[in-house]
Structure 1
Amino acid sequence: MVKWYPTEDVQKVRVKRANKPSKLRGRISPGQVLILLAGKHQGKRVIFLKQLEGGLLLVTGPYKFNGVPLKRVPQAYTVPTSTKVDVSGSDFSKINDAYFAKEKENAKKTEEAFFAPKKEKKPFSDAKKAMQKSVDAGIAGKITDPIVKKYLKTKFRLRNGMFPHTLKF
């Protein structure tokens, strides 16, 4: 039992800590091919472009090869490989965390809104499509080796007798 109670209700002040982005793993460098471990594009090979301010990795398929658009991915969901691609020809310096922000809509919580049909997904804006094409054009133009193209197109899968702890990427 507590013998003393405060005379006034005082709310505790909670201090928000600054978001510290995670450090980039030493084995990951721009142009390196990574394997995605989770999400819609699980098992696909992507090219690492840069680390964003929030700590996430900016990767691309290129979209033309394997259907992976410009994405933000946590480092923990990737496996770095020894394959590298030249990314010096593409300009992705304008892409930051704000590029991926979604527009907020003020939805009113009414009975009519509850029974209204669901809204369709908005298509990608023309600006994002143009940015995707410009980034991919610089990268895809540098990939001339047909083996690397085929490598990016194929998914990573474990098969019988393959043990992840013994594989060399």
Structure 2
Amino acid sequence: MAAKRKTPVKSRNPDLIRGVGKYSRSKMYHKRGLWAIKAKNGGFFPRHDPRHDPKPKVPASAEKPPKFYPAEDVKKPLLNKRKPKPTKLRASITPGTVLILLAGRFMGKRVVFLKQLPSGLLLVTGPFKINGVPLRRVNQSYVIATSTKVDISGVNVEKFDDKYFAKEVDKKKKKSEGEFFEAEKEDKKELPEDKKEDQKSVDASLIKSIEGVPDLKAYLAARFSLKSEDLPEMWEGLK
């Protein structure tokens, strides 16, 4: 269906020539009926007074706008509703399992797994007297579990938690102008005596169990390594 054509609006005062109307200003005053509107309102044209209009209510903002806006864009952290869950321990790692460390200062050393801490890290020890690995925390992603087990029923590990391994933060002292340019000398911090005693007590209980098994002490003291002659069939005890 074709759209209807709009009829052109005819002016009441057609142009004789461009810019010159057929009727004068006074003639159009009567032609438009403005005289009647003026007579109806006491000789005055009605005017709209905007002061009597009801002002629209602006909704109050919930937050007060800041007075300062940063010149650079500030990254807004994304909302994270993920709740931390306890780390699941691998089925091959049980208390007393001998583990092989794959990274860190003691890479390749064999250690005994004691327990899992609330943070999900593993509490292990060499013992220190056998292979030099002290009580420390390791991530289970960087260990290989072996089929060898050590009896740790006589070892008390209740006092060891994540706070036990927390570093003490020293308060920084203000440096003078001369000390600021001097090279800083890092003093070696000595291990507290109470932690040394804890290591000795854990080692003493573990070594009693280790000495009761033939060749276990030498096995823990040896560093793990692979040779070109080693075949994958020989690694059945590693998980």
- Cα–Cα, structure 1 residues 92 and 113, in superposed 2: closer, same or farther, change >3 Å? farther
Which of 46, 60, 63 does residue 111 from structure 2 map onto? 46
* Structure 1 residue runs without a partner (length 5+): 1-6
Structure with higher Rg: it is: 2
* Structure 2 residue runs without a partner (length 5+): 1-64
- Cα–Cα, structure 1 residues 120 and 77, in superposed 2: closer, same or farther, change >3 Å? same
Comparing 115-124 and 152-161, the one that deviates more: 115-124
Paired AA for residue 35 in structure 1: I
Which of 194, 202, 205 does residue 127 from structure 1 map onto? 194
Q: Offset at 1:19?
A: 3.8
- Cα–Cα, structure 1 residues 15 and 132, in superposed 2: closer, same or farther, change >3 Å? farther
Counterpart for residue 167 of structure 1: 235
Partner Cα distance (2:208, 2:105) in 1: 26
Paired AA for residue 223 in structure 2: K
- Cα–Cα, structure 1 residues 13 and 154, in superposed 2: closer, same or farther, change >3 Å? closer
The root-mean-square deviation of aligned C-alpha atoms, in Å, is 2.4
TM-score normalised by length of structure 1? 0.86
Counterpart for residue 217 of structure 2: 149
Partner Cα distance (1:75, 1:123) in 2: 28
| SS in structure 2 of the partner of residue 142 of structure 1 | helix
Paired AA for residue 189 in structure 2: K
Q: Offset at 1:161?
A: 2.5
Which of 137, 144, 167 does residue 72 from structure 1 map onto? 137
| SS in structure 2 of the partner of residue 146 of structure 1 | coil
CA deviation map 1:89-148 (0-9, x unaligned): 111110000010011012247452452431211111001001111111111111222311
Partner Cα distance (2:170, 2:190) in 1: 16
Count of matched residue pairs: 163
CA deviation map 1:37-82 (0-9, x unaligned): 0111111110000000100000000011100000100001100000
Partner Cα distance (1:113, 1:125) in 2: 30
Which of 60, 63, 86 does residue 128 from structure 2 map onto? 63
Counterpart for residue 98 of structure 2: 33
- Cα–Cα, structure 1 residues 31 and 125, in superposed 2: closer, same or farther, change >3 Å? same
| SS in structure 2 of the partner of residue 141 of structure 1 | helix
Q: Percent identity?
A: 52
TM-score normalised by length of structure 2? 0.62
